[in-house]
Structure 1
C-alpha cells in the first residue's frame, strides 16, 4: 500500500517532535498526490530560522524542554482567541494548590472579573522542577468584539495576554445577504488607467475617475492591484507584489495638482510644476510600456516644491495628527526612505547600509538629525497618499458603489525593505517563502519574501497583522488576500537551499481569519481569499467556515479535461474569466500564453505538445459555453470574426454561477490581448508595465474607456441586459 503518512518510528524521533511542536510540517502531499517527507537538514535549517538550535541531539533535547516550558511554564498563552457569542475556556497553567484570578480589560477601558473553572483533567506535568496543572478561565459569550487585555494572577505570579474577540465569520454585507443577491465589478491595474492629466502612469485621481465612471455601468466595485508602499527613488520596482512595506501606501500614485496646497502656490512654483508635468505628458498615450521611472523623476521634484511651500495651521495640525496616529511604523518607513535617498539603494552586499545599520544605529540617528526636512517630506508623502487613496474610495461611495475599492494584499514584503530593516524581529531570519514543486513549476518557487515569525505574532497579540488589515480596510470596501492558503501555512525555504528544499510552517489560521472578520465587520467590508491551485480540503473548509470568499476563475474551473458548468461553482466566491497572470480573454483565445511561454523558453516540453494541450482546453471550454447557451455553435466556424461575441459569452457564463461576486477585467472591455504578468520571468517580459490599449494597439484613457462600444457591450452583459 502506498505510504500516505509518517511512520510511528519517524514520529517518535525527537527532531520530528520538536518540529511539530514549533508548527513545522515534516511531510506533505504534493500537487500530483505524491507523499513527501522533509529531510532532516531542511527541518534543522527551518528551526534555525525560528531561532531554535537543533544542530545536534543534545540541542534538540534541550529545545524540546524549552518548548514545553514556554507552553506550560507560563500562566496563560500570550494571545487568546474568543468567538463572540460563544463561551471560551482559556487554559491557565499553575501549581497544584494555586487558584487563579483573572480580569478582562476591554479596549474601551471597562473591566470585568472572570470566573475560574476546572481544567481538562490531565495529570500534573513536571516543568522546570515544578508540578504544573491546568485550570481554565471562562470568557463569557457576551464579551464585546475587539482587542482586549486578559490579566491572570496566581499567588505572586502575574501575566497578561491579548484576548481577541471576533465574529464567528465574515458576515455578508447588505446587498449580498439574500439568496439571489449578487454584485459585480471590474478588475483593473491602477498604473495602466491613465487620463489626459496623468503624469504618464495611472494615479489616485485616475482611480477616483475610474470608480465614478464604473459606477455608471452598474458596477459596485473595482478590484485593483496592491497599493503597498514602494521605494522613494528610481529605479522603481514594477511588481506591486514585492512591496517595501505592506503597512503603508505607494506614494508614487499621488496626483500633485490634487494636493490642497497646490491651489496656494505662487505663479513661479505653479509654472515649475506645470513644466515638469509637460515633460511626461506624452507618456499618457504611449501604448507600449509604462515608464514609472520617467514619471517619478518628474513628479518627485513637483511634490518637493509643494511640500516646501508650506501648509496652513489647520493643515499642519492634520499632518501632525496623522504622524502621531501612524506612530513608530511611519518613522521606520520614512527613515528607510531617507537612508535610500542619501545612501543609495540597499543591496545584499555585506557593506550595504541595510546590513551595517539598524534603527538604533548612531549613523541612522545622525542621518535623521542632518536631514529633518527630507525626513518630514517622506512622512508628508504618506499623509498625502493616504488622503488621496481615501478620497478615491469616498468618490466611489458618493457615486453609489456599494463596495468601491477592493484592495489586494500581497503575500509579503521585499527582504531589503523598511518593514524588515526597521522591525527584523517580526520576521523569520534566514528563510523566504515560496511554493514546493508542482505541475507548472517543477523546481518550486522562491518569492524572496521573508515570512512573518509566528512566535512573534503570538507574543505581540498579532499587532503587526492587525495594523495591516485595519489600514487596508481604512481605504477599501473589500480586501483580497493573495495566496490565502498562507493564512494556514507557508512554504519556508532556508537560505542557501533550492525552492524544492523547504517545509510548510503553520500559522494560526483561526486567529488571522478572526482578525479579518473583525476588521471587515467594523468596516462593513468583504474579504476574498485567493485560493487558486491545489488547496487541501481542510483549508478550503476553513475558508468557508470563516466566511471568506474564494475565487472561481473560468479557465481554471475544470476537472479531468472537462470544464465544470458555472452552476456548480462555489457560491461564496468571486467569479471571473481570468486573472492578471494570464492574458486577457481575447489573448487567451488566440493562444498568446502558448506563444509567449515558447518565446521566453518557459516550456518544459515541446511547443507542439503544449499547443495541442491548449487547443484541447480551448475547445473544451467553448463546448461547455455552447452547452450552457452562452455562445452560438456556428461562431466556432470563424472565431476571429466572432471574437467579441465569444469574449462576451465567456462573461455571460459568470451570470449562471451562484457566486456572490463576479467581475470583468478592464482589459477585456477594450480588447487588449497582452498579459500584465508572465509568471516565471522578471525582465524577460514587461511584467506590470503593459499600458491599457485596445485591440488595435491604441492607448485607451479613462475618459474614453466606457464610451467604447466594446466596453458598453460587455457592461451590458455583466448587468444581465444582453
Structure 2
C-alpha cells in the first residue's frame, strides 16, 4: 500500500473525514497535510508506512476487543464483537442476574443504569439508557421560561456583577409570575481572578463551577461587601476583586462555620481536589506572568508529578481556599435550584454545557490524554464565516473516551445536571463530529473528527433520566446525517429560533408550523434582540465593524431589513399597521405572542426581549469590538418585571 493510500486508510479508521460537504452542498477534499497533522496530534505515527501500519493494527485490535464500556438501550440486544454463551450483570443495587441470550447475543436489562457485565468470564462495564429523555408533562399547560445572563443581574446591594445571589432573586420573581424555567449562561469554572478570559463559553473546566458566582449569603455566611458597579462590567477589575472578597470570607469564618465547611470539603472527590490544586498553581504562576499551564515550569505539567505534590503540601492553605470557593459555588447553585422548585417552577434552572474548554485550563491539565492536545475546535468556512472559525477551544479525544469507559464525559454531564432541571447542549452537533484544526493552522486547514454519536446520545439520555431533567440540543445550522432523527427519537428538544425559521419563499413560518419536539425562542444570546432587529441596531454594529456582506452599503442593508420587517409582521398576523422602525415595542409583543402560540413543548424568551431591550449580550466573531458579556440590566429583576409593558408580555405568555 502506497504511503498516501495508507494515510487515507488510517484517517478513515481513526474517524478523520477526508471529505466534507459545505452549506451550499459542495463536496470538499481535505489535504493530506491536514490529515497528517491531525493524526499526529491524536498520537498516531504517520511518517512511515510501518508507523501507519502499527496505527491501523492497533485500531483493528481495539475493534475486535471487548470495549471498556458497552452503551446500549434498555431491553435491546447487546451488539458484541463475537457471540457469547453466558452473560450476567451486577447492578448498582448489588444484585447479580443472568441475561437472556438469543443466538449468541444477550439482551440488556430493562432497568436503566450502570452495571458490571461478565461475558463468558470476560469483564467490562455496561451502561443501559432509557429510550428517551424526560419532557414536560403534556397533560399540564406548556411551560415557558426566560433566558438570562447571571452577571447582568442586579440585586438590593450594588455589586460589580451579578452572581447566584442575584439569580436567586430573579428566579423567585419569575416563578411568582408564572415562569417554569430559567435558562442560564454556562457556570463552568473560569481561571481564578483572571479578568481577561471572562467568556462563559471558554472555561477552564466543564466539571467544576465558576467560583466568582458563589454567594456566601445564600448559604448562611456573611455577605460580600458592596462594590461599585456600572452599566458595563469591568471584568479586569471585577474578577480580581471578587477573588479578594472570597478570601476575606474564608479568612473571617467563625470556628463553627469553618468546621462545617471543612466537613464538606473533606467529602470532595479527588477530581475536585486536583482542580483546586490547579487553581492554586494558576494563581501562583499568574503572579509571575504565566498564563495557562503550558507556560508553567515543565515539572508542573504533570498533575501526578512530584513537583505538583510538593506544591500542594507547601501551599495546603491555598489549595483549601480554592476548595472552599468551589464548595461555596456548588452550595449556592443547589440553593437557587431548591428555591426555584419550592417556588413552583416545574423545571427550574436550565444549565448550559459549553462545547469545549480552554487548552490552558484545568480539564486539559488534569485529564491528560482524555483531551485533544495540539488541536482546537471551530467551524468550517460558510457564508457567515468565509475563512472558517477557530474558537480556540479543545474537547475530549474520541479514542480516549472509549478507552476510559466514557468516565470524563459522564462526570461532566453529572456536574451540569447536579443542580438543574434541564440542560442545553451548546453546538450539540459536537456529539457526532467536531471541526478540528491543528494548532498554528488556519481555520480552513481543518477536518471533521467523528465521535461515538450513538453512545454519547445514550449517555446523555441516561444521565438526564437519572437527574429527571429535560435536554435541549442546540441544533442550529447544517446537521450531520442522522442527527435530527436521533435526537428526536430520544425526545431531546431542538431549538427553533424566530430568526432562523424561514419559509421556502423567504418569509417566516407561521406559529402552527413549528414542531412540537422543540423549544420556541425569540432569540439567543448570539442573535439580535427583537427590538434591536426591528430598529436595525444589529445593522449599525455590522456597518461600524465592517461586517456587512461584501459590496453592500448600510442603506442597501436597511432596504432589505425593511422588506423583512414586512414579511415578519405579516407572519405575526396582527391586524393593525406595521410599527415604524423606531417604534419596536409592538413588534416585541407580537414576537413573544408568536412563539407562545407554537405547538412547541416549551417557549423560552430572553429577558432582553421581555424587557424590550435593543442590545444583545454577545456579538459572535468579536472579542473587544463589542461589549460582549458586559451589559447590566437596569434594576432588580422584580422591579423590571413589574413595568406595565413587561407585565403585559408575561400575561400573554401565561395565557
What is the TM-score with the length of structure 2 in the denominator?
0.94
Change (3 A) 1:397 1:236: farther
Q: Give the CA deviation at 1:40.
A: 1.3
The answer to whether the Cα contact below 8 Å between 2:569 and 2:578 also exists between their aligned partners in 1 is no
Of stretches 494-503 and 479-488 in structure 1, the one that deviates more from structure 2 is: 494-503
SS at match of 1:662: strand
Partners of 2:409 and 2:293 lie apart in 1 by 30
1:512-550 CA-partner distances (Å, limit 9, x unpaired): 111211121222210000111122451111111121111
Select which of 38, 50, 65 maps to 2:42: 50
The answer to whether the Cα contact below 8 Å between 2:381 and 2:388 also exists between their aligned partners in 1 is yes
Q: Which residue of 1 aligns with 2:620?
A: 679
- Say yes or no: does 1:702 pair with 2:644: no
The answer to whether the Cα contact below 8 Å between 1:246 and 1:410 also exists between their aligned partners in 2 is yes
Q: Which residue of 2 aligns with 1:108?
A: 93
Q: Which residue of 2 aligns with 1:86?
A: 76
- Say yes or no: does 1:445 pair with 2:373: no
- Say yes or no: does 1:33 pair with 2:25: yes
- Say yes or no: does 1:415 pair with 2:359: yes
Q: Which residue of 2 aligns with 1:714?
A: 649
Q: Which residue of 2 aligns with 1:557?
A: 501
Q: Give the CA deviation at 1:451.
A: 2.2
Q: Give the CA deviation at 1:319.
A: 4.5
- Say yes or no: does 1:238 pair with 2:178: no
Q: Give the CA deviation at 1:252.
A: 0.5
Select which of 143, 167, 175 maps to 2:130: 167
Q: Which residue of 2 aligns with 1:265?
A: none
Q: Which residue of 1 aligns with 2:600?
A: 659
The answer to whether the Cα contact below 8 Å between 2:376 and 2:436 also exists between their aligned partners in 1 is yes
SS at match of 1:182: coil
Partners of 1:451 and 1:406 lie apart in 2 by 22
SS at match of 1:432: strand
Q: Give the CA deviation at 1:626.
A: 2.6
The answer to whether the Cα contact below 8 Å between 2:151 and 2:162 also exists between their aligned partners in 1 is yes
Partners of 1:295 and 1:496 lie apart in 2 by 32
- Say yes or no: does 1:148 pair with 2:89: no
Counterpart mapping for 1:494-513 below 5 A: 494-513=438-457
- Say yes or no: does 1:340 pair with 2:282: yes
Select which of 89, 92, 107 maps to 1:139: 107
Q: Which residue of 2 aligns with 1:308?
A: 251
Of stretches 706-715 and 558-567 in structure 1, the one that deviates more from structure 2 is: 558-567
Select which of 494, 498, 517 maps to 1:572: 517
Q: Give the CA deviation at 1:430.
A: 1.1
Q: Give the CA deviation at 1:432.
A: 0.9
- Say yes or no: does 1:330 pair with 2:246: no
1:463-520 CA-partner distances (Å, limit 9, x unpaired): 1111111121111100000001111111111122211111111111222111211121
Partners of 1:62 and 1:22 lie apart in 2 by 13
Partners of 1:192 and 1:307 lie apart in 2 by 25
What is the TM-score with the length of structure 1 in the denominator?
0.85
Change (3 A) 1:246 1:140: closer
Of stretches 28-37 and 15-24 in structure 1, the one that deviates more from structure 2 is: 15-24
Partners of 1:538 and 1:107 lie apart in 2 by 33
Which blocks of at least 5 consecutive residues in structure 1 are unaligned? 1-8, 94-98, 119-135, 263-272, 693-698
Partners of 1:601 and 1:341 lie apart in 2 by 38
Counterpart mapping for 1:571-610 below 5 A: 571-608=516-553
RMSD of aligned alpha carbons: 2.5
Partners of 2:132 and 2:241 lie apart in 1 by 46
Partners of 1:672 and 1:701 lie apart in 2 by 15
Counterpart mapping for 1:131-280 below 5 A: 136-142=104-110, 144-153=111-120, 158=122, 160-174=123-137, 177-178=138-139, 181-262=141-222, 277-278=225-226, 280=227
Q: Give the CA deviation at 1:46.
A: 1.6
Which blocks of at least 5 consecutive residues in structure 2 are unaligned? none
Select which of 13, 20, 45 maps to 2:5: 13
Change (3 A) 1:311 1:81: farther
Q: Give the CA deviation at 1:349.
A: 9.4
The answer to whether the Cα contact below 8 Å between 2:195 and 2:238 also exists between their aligned partners in 1 is no
Change (3 A) 1:497 1:187: same
Q: Which residue of 2 aligns with 1:292?
A: 235
Select which of 22, 35, 60 maps to 2:52: 60
The answer to whether the Cα contact below 8 Å between 2:71 and 2:455 also exists between their aligned partners in 1 is yes
The answer to whether the Cα contact below 8 Å between 1:479 and 1:527 also exists between their aligned partners in 2 is yes
Q: Give the CA deviation at 1:625.
A: 3.4
The answer to whether the Cα contact below 8 Å between 1:343 and 1:353 also exists between their aligned partners in 2 is no
The answer to whether the Cα contact below 8 Å between 1:221 and 1:406 also exists between their aligned partners in 2 is yes
Partners of 1:593 and 1:87 lie apart in 2 by 52
Partners of 1:304 and 1:574 lie apart in 2 by 41
Q: Which residue of 2 aligns with 1:127?
A: none
The answer to whether the Cα contact below 8 Å between 1:625 and 1:653 also exists between their aligned partners in 2 is no
Partners of 2:293 and 2:333 lie apart in 1 by 35
Partners of 1:457 and 1:646 lie apart in 2 by 47
SS at match of 1:691: coil
Change (3 A) 1:172 1:117: same
Q: Which residue of 2 aligns with 1:649?
A: 590
1:397-436 CA-partner distances (Å, limit 9, x unpaired): 1111100111111001111001111112111221111100
